[in-house]
């Protein structure tokens, strides 16, 4: 049984590698007591020493090695830029592993993974971990980004049965978004029956819900939401769920990040 007790740690950057014009792999030294984590769990980083950025920033765990915790960081603003430009030996304060639910592949099950952008990170962790620890069926990755230079194929090598790429500008693979590609492959009978795991922008996951997923036994998604405390206390990251007694709100950081997509009240989300 994994030891998932969260803690607060001082780590160091032990590896930094640019993998696309906007994304970096950052490996942090793994504290001795940070023994394990599950796919879909994340760490919350204090980036910088001043008051700005004030809030910690959440990052999905992409991999855990004997000595390191590996993150995929896309530069979108001040904190991610500071993290991505860190130097080997820089000290970063983290809390983790956070999140109360995770992706789990059942023995013998096939999974179709749908990733948008850095949503790739927890899905890579899931595929790698469960393929190592279980007998799994076919693992297909459908992966979309704006352009070929943001597609991180090297990170996906040797993990999946097949990788299907979509780019919005058509510079690699299918021209269009990953959900359009999903529909085509699904209707063409190319994808195995089994479960669907997704992670990406909310619009991508909503569109997946609206597309035909009848051949999938279940769809689990790892959600992203703006976070403050990261531990289920402030209710800042809650999402509405369908419930017999009206709407029930669950926190992405404490109850998630992984939820059954069908249980989310997509109509109400964004209207709270
Ligand atoms: C559970 C979870 C896992 C994530 N995993 C990854 C990952 O693997 N790789 C990756 O590149 N990004 C990931 N993110 C997003 C990442 O946290 C944001 O990109 C980062 O916080 C942006 O900070 P910034 O100062 O650079 O940008 P800002 O200028 O602050 O904001 C840019 C955008 O980032 C988002 N954001 C800002 N602050 C927060 C916050 N405190 N919590 C959540 N989102 C915020 C908002 O959508 C905002 O529009 C994850 C987010 C969550 C919630
Ligand atoms: S960030 Fe505080 S409850 Fe999720």
CA distances from 190 to 71, 156, 182, 183, 194 (A): 31, 19, 10, 10, 13
Say which DSSP state 192 is in.
Answer: P
User: Which protein residue has the closest C-alpha to ligand 1 atom 33?
Assistant: 76
The chain-wide mean pLDDT, for the chain, equals 91
The ligand minimizing its distance to the Cα of 76 is: 1
Check if 7-98 and 111-263 are the same fold.
no
**Three-state helix/strand/coil letters over 102-137:** CCCCCCCCCEEEEEEHHHHHHHHHHHHHHHHHCCCC
Tens-place pLDDT, residues 192-232: 999 999 999 999 999 998 886 566 789 999 998 888 888 88
Instruction: Kindly report the CATH class assigned to 111-263.
Output: alpha beta
Q: Are strands 216-222 and 258-260 parallel, antiparallel or unpaired?
A: antiparallel
Domain chopping of the chain, boundaries: 7-98, 111-263
Tens-place pLDDT, residues 88-146: 999 999 999 999 999 999 999 999 999 999 999 999 999 999 999 989 999 999 999 99
What pLDDT score does 272 carry?
A: 47
Residues within 6 Å of ligand 2 by CB: 227-230, 232-237, 251, 253-254
How many A from CA of 133 to the centre of ligand 2? 31
The third-level CATH classification (topology) of the domain covering 7-98 is: Elongation Factor Tu (Ef-tu); domain 3 (2.40.30)
Dist CA 253 CA 248 (whole Å) = 16
Tens-place pLDDT, residues 9-56: 999 999 999 999 999 999 999 999 887 899 999 999 999 877 677 789
- 3-state SS class at 226: coil
Dist CA 257 CA 221 (whole Å) = 8
The ligand minimizing its distance to the Cα of 231 is: 2
Residues within 6 Å of ligand 1 by CB: 42, 53, 55, 57-60, 72-74, 76-80, 118, 121, 224-227, 257
| Residue 27: exposure state from Cβ atoms within 10 A (0-12, 13-18, ≥19) | buried
| Residue 130: exposure state from Cβ atoms within 10 A (0-12, 13-18, ≥19) | buried
How many A from CA of 237 to the centre of ligand 2? 5
How many A from CA of 73 to the centre of ligand 1? 9
What pLDDT score does 165 carry?
A: 96
């Amino acid at each position: 049984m994994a030891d998932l007790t969260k803690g607060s740690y001082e780590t160091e950057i032990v590896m930094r590698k640019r993998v696309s014009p906007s994304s970096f792999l950052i490996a942090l030294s793994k504290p001795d007591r940070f023994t394990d984590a599950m796919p879909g769990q994340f760490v919350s980083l204090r980036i910088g020493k001043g008051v700005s950025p004030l809030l910690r920033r959440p990052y999905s765990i992409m991999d855990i090695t004997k000595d390191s915790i590996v993150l995929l960081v896309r530069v979108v603003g001040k904190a991610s830029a500071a993290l991505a430009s860190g130097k080997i030996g820089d000290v970063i304060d983290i809390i983790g592993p956070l999140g109360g639910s995770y992706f789990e592949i059942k023995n013998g099950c096939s999974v179709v993974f749908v990733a948008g952008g850095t949503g790739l990170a927890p899905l890579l962790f899931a595929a790698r971990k469960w393929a190592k620890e279980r007998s799994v069926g076919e693992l297909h990755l459908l992966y979309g980004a704006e352009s070929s230079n943001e597609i991180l194929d090297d990170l996906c090598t040797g993990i999946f049965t097949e990788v299907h790429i979509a780019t919005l500008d058509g510079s690699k693979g299918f021209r269009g978004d990953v959900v359009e590609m999903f529909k085509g492959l699904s209707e063409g009978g190319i994808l195995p029956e089994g479960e669907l795991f997704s992670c990406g922008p909310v619009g991508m996951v909503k569109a997946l819900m609206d597309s035909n997923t009848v051949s999938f036994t279940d769809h689990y998604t790892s959600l992203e939401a703006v976070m403050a405390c990261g531990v289920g206390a402030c209710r800042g990251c809650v999402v509405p769920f369908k419930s017999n007694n009206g709407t029930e709100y669950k926190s992405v950081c404490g109850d998630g990040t992984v939820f059954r997509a069908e249980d989310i009240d997509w109509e109400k989300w964004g209207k709270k």
